[in-house]
Chains A and B, each alone.
Chain A
């Protein structure tokens, strides 16, 4: 019978952070996730590593945590973080009193906010609205890759014996005499159900925390709060650009690689799975966004996406933007179930700290004395410069650094070896993100890859300019060739499933150039490949 001392439910940033922390402290731990890692709010956000400025007025505790964690994540997750810096810009319609409070708040929260002249601001961010900007500050914001962060936490945990199962959904909590005994899970891919025993069960499911708690007959106040974002196909600015005003919709731009993400909105939704977006939401974001960048509508939109913030509502508390972005650890022993805890609320930037806090509590219960070391040790060993230089001969143009950041040292050296000995493996599966056949094969072969979309989240295929136009076909074929199971071999369904996922985010922006790109995509898949047909009448 399968067993673990601690089972962590939820493969978002918090869950993987807990698994890593527990494993590093020598606790036998298993993480289960009902889909793939970082499938909820941990990837469905703007990818901003906050400096804390956004909270400097309302919640200085949160602001302080942000800046401390920001510095830690830069250090331990070098290849997940783009240390591009950020700017806060007040526009003419924004309250000048708020600016004053904000400057004080930053000072109190230890956030270095450096005032710059407008000329300096325009020099740094040339497309910033000259008509609307009135003052600007530089802050230590950064961009962060949520998918990569999650996988690197897993890689780190695995080195210490941590285990994980994706596509494994919790369906029942077994209890005896007011104590957790184990859980029943269902494999999403093949429907198989089985039990896993444990002493401690951690609910780290974000927006789903209320649902998971209810499986154990408990109640946790979580309000899923939908945030919608737009990805543009250009780097609109070279640093993060925030509106300097009371936090609102559409006021943060975060550049990532060759794209920019604009977000977010805030809308209470009954179901955290509700990630559909509409024309009205897009229009709302553009309308606000174009105050900061006046020619925003001339940029090509790649797609939209949405995620649900897990806002914790203590009995009688506020929801929406009024709710605290702080987090809470709830020990359900107080509710009559020993061995179960829920962690909820918080934000991506402070995921490590949240994991540390709850792991401290777990260790206390288990009488484990090991201290937390997650703030000191890097998530994965870095690829050395000499290794990169050697591999550079076989990688396409600028692809070496990108692949090194995506793969980490171990996988990188295997991929480089493959590229060296096999010319065919050098071909690009994804031209937009510079992903070679060798890299796709390396990831596709891993046990945790069940569908082509899993390869996407780990390699970035299909996330660039063409949104899967070419790589959907290629990756489905490469994946089928790995021959894992009948589902993988059904190339037509894999391609369609992959493209349907991309289309969901494109649908609300099916105008202008996104529409044109979509017509090309349809021409290829409907006509050239006829993926829907095939059968004779």
Chain B
């Protein structure tokens, strides 16, 4: 039985662990925090924008135009497709279904009143076909959701919509601190909370589509479905500021799947270094509460994220590092190439593309293209050569790279 260690519990790490476990591998997941899913919308962007920031109509077509160094070209478009199909089945199986496909984008509304293109999302975030009357639901005392502005902006971006109405949900939650979407979502996981929401919204529910903050339950898609059936109309959530409820729903679903597949999860441990022998990694050493611990395996999957996740660090200009395996980090040299003058630029940011260069099997290579280690696979954002914030491709790369290394 192949043993695999996955380092990191963002979307890439969790799916890599899941897909390996499904294939009968003995998987251990090492994590030192909650991963980046609480900051992540939990929708799967495959490719939202091309290199000139023109919106991609069909992700499948967009993928074909990417440069050779892009991770998708190492993963292969066929694998991306398989990964998506498999994810949709997995999500269904573990009780949090997603919708979408590679041929078109789903429009997800945002709290800024814009639309965000994505490939896969839970049904509750899909605003693609919204038309007619819209009712924006503001929650009393909830921060970061400005109904009037969302309505004013959405009207511009959803031309099929007509009247906008704003109603307030009084959740009854108050107290000594600001309440978050997560508080309200947890309330709506209870029967009383749900009934309260339905009772207050029912008078406004005729011939309208509701747009709400991410409050329709913190567990999975069941709450959204229940509320929609009771109100007998569409209820659509926006993306949200951290903690992202939908990111947590996705995390929750994946952790549940890992448990049922008996994946061993070691929490609160930081992997410090690796031991190598004959071009292979034989073990990683991690720091636990009191002492260091050594983990051995046949294969290692590095899913520690990029600059934000800490998988790639830049302590000094021109000297990026990968802290665990000390792998060479590919980057674009030169002060003028590191960043663009404009923050919201019409071209990708140089710094955002730093990462680990790999071969077609996602094994790390040096600058001459020679393989460095035979059993350490790179997945997710620590892959080099793409700016996921610019092109909207983060979870797509994470998912398909995880699927690739699990099925090699």
Q: Hey, which bits of chain A sit against chain B, CB under 8 A?
A: 278-279, 423-424, 427-428, 470, 473-474, 477, 480-481, 489, 491-492, 495-496, 499-500, 503, 507, 510-512, 515-516, 519-520, 522-537
Interface membership of B392, Cβ < 8 A? yes
A280, closest chain B residue (CB): B335
Question: 18 A–B contact pairs at CB < 8 A?
Answer: A423-B141, A474-B143, A477-B146, A491-B112, A496-B343, A496-B344, A499-B343, A512-B314, A523-B389, A527-B116, A527-B392, A528-B241, A529-B114, A530-B112, A531-B112, A534-B112, A535-B157, A536-B55
Known contacts A492-B112, A529-B112, A530-B112; A481 and B389 CB within 8 A of each other? no
Pairwise interchain contact A528-B178, C-beta atoms closer than 8 A: no
The smallest beta-carbon distance between B389 and chain A, in angstroms, is 4
Known contacts A473-B112, A489-B152, A516-B307; A528 and B49 CB within 8 A of each other? no
Interface membership of B339, Cβ < 8 A? yes
Residues of A within 8 A of B344 (CB): 496, 499-500, 525-526, 531-532
Contacts A427-B143, A531-B114 aside, 17 further interface pairs with beta carbons under 8 A come to: A423-B141, A477-B149, A481-B148, A491-B112, A500-B342, A511-B315, A516-B307, A519-B307, A523-B389, A527-B45, A527-B392, A528-B239, A528-B240, A531-B344, A532-B344, A533-B48, A537-B55
Residues of B within 8 A of A503 (CB): 343
Known contacts A491-B113, A492-B153, A527-B394; A535 and B55 CB within 8 A of each other? yes
Pairwise interchain contact B41-A528, C-beta atoms closer than 8 A: yes
Known contacts A492-B114, A528-B239, A528-B240; A516 and B174 CB within 8 A of each other? no
Residues of B within 8 A of A532 (CB): 53, 344
Residues of A within 8 A of B39 (CB): 520, 523-524
A429, closest chain B residue (CB): B143
Q: Hey, which bits of chain B sit against chain A, CB under 8 A?
A: 39-41, 45, 48-49, 53-57, 107, 110-117, 140-141, 143-144, 146, 148-149, 152-153, 156-157, 174, 178, 239-242, 244, 306-308, 310, 313-317, 335, 338-339, 341-344, 349, 351-352, 389-390, 392, 394
Pairwise interchain contact A511-B174, C-beta atoms closer than 8 A: no
B314, closest chain A residue (CB): A511
B55, closest chain A residue (CB): A537
The smallest beta-carbon distance between A228 and chain B, in angstroms, is 15
Instruction: Identify which of B107, B148, B339, B389 contacts A507 (C-beta below 8 A).
Output: B339
Residues of B within 8 A of A515 (CB): 307, 314, 351
CA distance in complex: A278, B317 (Å): 12
Known contacts A477-B149, A511-B316, A527-B394; A536 and B389 CB within 8 A of each other? no
The smallest beta-carbon distance between B40 and chain A, in angstroms, is 8
Pairwise interchain contact B110-A528, C-beta atoms closer than 8 A: yes
Pairwise interchain contact B157-A516, C-beta atoms closer than 8 A: no
CA distance in complex: A521, B310 (Å): 15
CA distance in complex: A427, B178 (Å): 6
Residues of B within 8 A of A522 (CB): 343, 349, 352, 389
CA distance in complex: A524, B38 (Å): 12
CA distance in complex: A424, B40 (Å): 27
CA distance in complex: A499, B112 (Å): 15
Residues of B within 8 A of A500 (CB): 342-344
The smallest beta-carbon distance between B6 and chain A, in angstroms, is 22
Residues of A within 8 A of B394 (CB): 527
Residues of A within 8 A of B240 (CB): 528
Known contacts A503-B343, A511-B314, A536-B115; A529 and B141 CB within 8 A of each other? no
Pairwise interchain contact A536-B157, C-beta atoms closer than 8 A: yes
- A279, A480, A500, A533, most chain B CB atoms within 10 A: A533
Pairwise interchain contact A474-B144, C-beta atoms closer than 8 A: yes
Residues of A within 8 A of B114 (CB): 492, 529-531, 533-534
Residues of B within 8 A of A534 (CB): 112-115, 153, 156-157
Residues of A within 8 A of B40 (CB): 523
CA distance in complex: A537, B342 (Å): 23
Residues of B within 8 A of A424 (CB): 140-141
Known contacts A503-B343, A525-B344; A537 and B178 CB within 8 A of each other? no
